[in-house]
């Protein structure tokens, strides 16, 4: 019954329109991906893509089309927020130093501040442990040094380093014998 309602010419025309529409969408996706990759990573991203041509050009295509053409170019979240999320994920992985450095550079390129980057990496101690966070901080240090960015450290960190944790906690009105890691137990308690 369906065969008699659709002629072969109509079916072929529909398939060609769909294929043509897909080709235009793929071209737009590729252009969006290349533009977003350049905006975030500058020449470093292109080098990564070029390095894949001889062994896995498909991987380079997926990076451009999917990662940057679909995900990073989506406007629901700012590029700075996306880069900070990427930095947190790569820090938590703990084994992606080259990628982490590229995305720390990318975060700086799209307007994230060095202090934000350090804070996000430091927060990963809670989720992935000290080794991952330390690796992340070292990656940030390398990127900052390369760019001539000097970090002065937080005032809380300096106070603890100079006088010790007990002194800091006493000055802050916190009983130094209580444990730091459980804020629910201490909220409002001095």
Read off the pLDDT of residues 9-36 as tens digits, 9 standing for 90 and up.
555 555 555 556 667 799 999 999 999 9
Range in 67-81, 119-133, 170-184 with the lowest mean pLDDT: 170-184
pLDDT value of position 127: 95
pLDDT value of position 49: 97
Positive or negative, the Cα torsion across 135, 136, 137, 140?
A: positive
Question: By C-alpha distance, which of 97, 41, 102 is closest to 68?
Answer: 41
Q: Per-residue pLDDT tens for 81-129? A: 999 999 999 999 999 999 999 999 999 999 999 999 999 999 999 999 9
pTM over 0.75: no
Please report, rounded to a whole number, the percentage of residues in the chain having pLDDT higher than 70: 68
Residue 101's contacts (CB-CB under 8 Å, 6 or more residues apart) are: 139, 142, 143
């Amino acid at each position: 019954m369906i065969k008699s309602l659709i002629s072969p010419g109509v079916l072929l025309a529909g398939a060609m329109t769909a294929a043509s529409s897909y080709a235009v969408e793929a071209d737009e996706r590729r252009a969006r991906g290349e533009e977003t990759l350049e905006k975030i990573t500058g020449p470093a991203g292109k080098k990564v893509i070029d390095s894949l041509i001889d062994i896995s050009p498909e991987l380079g295509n997926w990076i451009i089309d999917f990662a940057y053409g679909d995900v990073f170019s989506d406007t629901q979240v700012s590029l700075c927020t996306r880069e900070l999320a990427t930095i947190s994920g790569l820090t938590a992985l703990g084994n992606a130093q080259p990628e982490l450095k590229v995305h720390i550079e990318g975060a700086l390129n799209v307007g994230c501040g060095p202090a934000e980057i350090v804070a996000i990496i430091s927060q990963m101690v809670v989720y992935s442990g000290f080794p991952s966070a330390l690796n992340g901080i070292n990656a940030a240090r390398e990127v900052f040094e390369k760019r001539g960015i000097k970090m002065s450290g937080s005032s809380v960190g300096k106070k603890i380093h100079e006088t010790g944790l007990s002194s800091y906690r006493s000055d802050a009105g916190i009983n130094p014998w209580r444990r730091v890691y459980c804020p629910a137990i201490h909220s409002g308690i001095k």
